[in-house]
Amino acid sequence: MQHLLFTHSILRWAILLFGIWTLLNAITGVFGNRKYSPTDNKINLFFMIGCDIQLVLGLILYFNNGWFDMLKNSTKDVMKDAGMRFFAMEHFLMMLIVWLLVHVGRSMVKRADTDAKKHKKSLIYFGIAILLILAMIPWPFRSTDIARDWLPKL
């Protein structure tokens, strides 16, 4: 389980790299009137694949590291404790929304009929997803019961 947590923690950096790259592509696309290129498509595909793997790892951690049992058996205590509430509820639910946004976003981009619309949809869907990811990562500067290291220890 320690290896899965290690991978989940490292993979955040790949997701942030491709997520922010995707967002920059959308911004330069919208404001620079650029064509929607195969590179734009490839970078947001990598972003989506990262989120898919992260979801699978996250679900395994969620059900195997006792977060779900904690929530099921002592809901009140979990809700009162900011650290437990973060992993048992907030991180889990918000990252699920991120995953949905990225998938719906990619299909909206695919369906849009002009390059300008493709960039605009990218900016909206992937932009919100990135903001939620940044808000929901347990950064080292969060309160001590939520904070995790910049890089995981094995």
Site of interaction with ligand HEM (CB under 6 A): 5, 8-9, 12, 15, 51, 54-55, 58-59, 61-62, 65, 67, 87, 91-92, 95-96, 98, 133, 137-138, 148-149, 152
d(CA 112, CA 106): 10
For the bound state, the minimum distance from the C-beta of residue 128 to ligand HEM, rounded and expressed in Å, comes to 13
Question: Nearest to ligand HEM by Cβ — which residue?
Answer: 58
- The Cα-based distances of 58 to 51, 55, 96, 127 in angstroms read 10, 5, 10, 22
CB 60 within 8 A of CB 11: no
In angstroms, rounded to a whole number, what is the distance separating the alpha carbons of residues 64 and 56?
12
Closer Cβ to ligand HEM, 36 or 67, answer by number: 67
Nearer to ligand HEM, 1 or 32 (CB): 1
Least distance (Å) from ligand HEM to the CB of residue 110? Answer: 21
Whole-angstrom distance, CA of residue 129 vs CA of residue 106: 12
| Residue that is written with structure tokens 């490839």 in the block | 42
Looking at the Cβ atoms of 85 and 148, the one nearer to ligand HEM is 148
Query: Which residue, 36 or 88, has its beta carbon nearer to ligand HEM?
Result: 88
